[in-house]
Amino acid sequence: MSNKTTTLGQFIIERQADFPYAKGELSRLLRDIAIAAKIVNREVNKAGLVDILGDAGTYNIQGEGQKKLDVYADEQFVSALRSGGECCVVASEENENCLYIESEISKNAKYIVAIDPLDGSSNIDVNVAVGTIFSIYRRRHTEANTKASLEDVLQKGDQQVAAGYIVYGSSTMLVYTTGKGVNGFTLDPSIGEFCLSHPNMKMPKNGTIYSINEGHYIHFPQGVKDYIKYCQQHDPSTNRPFTSRYIGSMVADIHRNLIKGGIFLYPSTSSHPNGKLRLVYECNPMAFIIEQAGGIATDGKGRILDIQPTQLHQRSAIFIGSVDMVNSLMRFIDS
**Positions in the binding site for ligand AHM (CB under 6 A):** 64, 93, 116, 119-121, 213, 248-250, 276
Q: Does 253 bind Mg ion (CB under 5 A)?
A: no
**Exposed e or buried b for every residue in 12-48, given b needs 16+ CB within 10 A?**
beebeeebeeeeebbbbbbbbbbbbbbbbbebbeebe
| Residue 73 CB neighbour total at 10 angstroms | 31
Q: Give me the least distance between CB of 120 and ligand AHM, in Å please.
A: 4
Please say which residue, 101 or 258, places its beta carbon nearer to ligand AHM: 258
Number of residues that bind Mg ion (CB under 5 A): 2
From Mg ion, ligand AHM, none, which one binds at residue 249 (CB under 5 to 8 Å depending on kind)? ligand AHM
Please say which residue, 121 or 178, places its beta carbon nearer to Mg ion: 121
Please say which residue, 116 or 193, places its beta carbon nearer to ligand AHM: 116
SS (HEC) of 181-239: CEEEEEEECCCCEEEEEECCCCCCCCCCEEECCHHHHHHCCHHHHHHHHHHHCCEHHHC
Tell me the β-bridge partners of 264. 211, 320
Is 266 in contact with 316 (CB distance < 8 Å)? no
Q: Does 94 bind Mg ion (CB under 5 A)?
A: no
Please say which residue, 94 or 193, places its beta carbon nearer to ligand AHM: 94
Please say which residue, 112 or 320, places its beta carbon nearer to ligand AHM: 320
From Mg ion, ligand AHM, none, which one binds at residue 64 (CB under 5 to 8 Å depending on kind)? ligand AHM
Is 111 in contact with 86 (CB distance < 8 Å)? yes
Q: Does 116 bind Mg ion (CB under 5 A)?
A: yes
Which amino acid makes up residue 326?
V
Q: Does 70 bind Mg ion (CB under 5 A)?
A: no
Q: What are the helix (H) ranges across 18-124?
A: 25-45, 68-84
Classified as helix, coil or strand, 162 is strand
Q: Give me the least distance between CB of 251 and Mg ion, in Å please.
A: 8
Pairing between β-strand 296-298 and β-strand 318-321 as defined by DSSP bridges: antiparallel
Give the residue, chosen from 32, 74, 119, 253, that forms a contact with Mg ion under the rule CB under 5 A: 119
Please say which residue, 148 or 254, places its beta carbon nearer to Mg ion: 254
Residues interacting with Mg ion, by CB under 5 A? 116, 119
